[in-house]
Structure 1
């Protein structure tokens, strides 16, 4: 059976936004989804397959790990551009798919990473993905694809896994603005939920950990305040 890189992505807050549209008598969430999914029209990878069901996005590629990670980064940023967080997992394992059947250990691995370990608005990469690239060259550091991934700063160490790094100096300011706008727009509901507060606080810390030098942006979420 063939192997593939597989990304399982979850649109965070899907039911919340559907309910809000229903209560408000709008289709704002639908508009955001349509705009977010347009990113796939501009991704030029011949081997990339993708589809979505409800709040889940499935992406797979038989090869080309570097461009697959770049494409996944683009998807994350496209949803954020429209005020939506995604969370996900990326794996490398056996994968078989037709128009009617999907038999995929890669999908299962990616889903397990997303549902059990990603937790926050981020995309974790299974260590098997990196091990696969390392095993293709001797010594491992000679693998050109892996070096391309590292040189373009697409990886962050994250425990026994890796995290897809979606920030760079060209997108930091816009990513900050979109994350801040999302928080301020829904702050009343976020403040009522410790879980949602944790999601947004984590993303803020991620942002500021990689803030470009001389950038004067300030944190938009106050972590701890004494009661007056």
Structure 2
């Protein structure tokens, strides 16, 4: 079903190429401001749909030379995006490369952009929770993470990050306060 949902993305933007392999999805389209905005919307909706299915995903978005056929794929943009995903993203977020941010946005536009969030690490990621309200987003998170946070530090940090993202996006509906720190009385 995820495979079919991914194939459906191709219908959302004229000229969008999609390649799937292993647990990766590559979206490619010639660069323009309009195409960039469309792709960010597609990724945002797709990531939120996956969250609603209880699936956490991460990724990177970049740009660069790209060539593909049915049998062959060469892409500097994909290599950059893979490096972002595998070494920087680490949590359920799709990070936009600094080079792509600099290309697309004058500095004054970034602060009022609802599609991206600037995290404390200085990186921008696609704001996928903007696609839902507080209740629906919390229900989706509950599908993706167990009631008790994982003992595995890597998994636990992803779950905590997701809760922090929710609390940032919906401050009026904050959940699980102070979950990062253990009080001495505990």
Q: TM-score range by the shorter chain?
A: 0.7 to 0.9
Residue of 154, 157, 160 corresponding to 1:201: 160
CA distance in 2, matches of 1:39, 1:182: 19
What secondary structure, in the 3-state scheme, does the structure 2 residue paired with 1:89 have? strand
Answering whether residue 115 of structure 2 is matched by residue 154 of structure 1, we say yes
| Ranges of 4+ aligned residues in structure 1 off by more than 6 Å | none
Q: Deviations over 1:68-125 (max 9, x none)?
A: 0000111111111110100100001111111122111000000000001001111100
Contact 2:60-2:94 within 8 A present in 1 as well: yes
Deviation at 1:170, TM superposition (A): 3.8
Q: What residue is the counterpart of 1:94 in the other structure?
A: 65
Unpaired runs of at least 5, structure 1: 1-33, 135-139
Gaps of 5+ in 2: none
In the alignment, is the contact (CA less than 8 A) between 2:95 and 2:125 conserved in 1?
yes
Structure with greater Cα Rg = 1
Q: How many residues align?
A: 180
Quote the Cα distance in structure 1 between the aligned partners of 2:143 and 2:185: 26
Partner of 1:31: none
Contact between 1:201 and 1:221, CA under 8 Å: does it hold in 2? no
1:93 aligned counterpart, secondary structure = coil
For 1:169-188, what per-residue CA distance to the aligned partner results, in whole angstroms no more than 9, with x for missing partners? 74332121111232226x4x
Q: 2:75 aligned to 104, 124, 146, which one?
A: 104
More strand by share: 1
- Tell me the TM-score normalized by structure 1: 0.68
Is contact 2:48–2:129 with CA below 8 Å preserved after alignment? no
What are the residue-to-residue correspondences of 1:69-88 with 2, within 5 Å?
A: 69-88=40-59
TM-score w.r.t. the length of structure 2 is 0.82
Q: CA RMSD in A?
A: 2.8
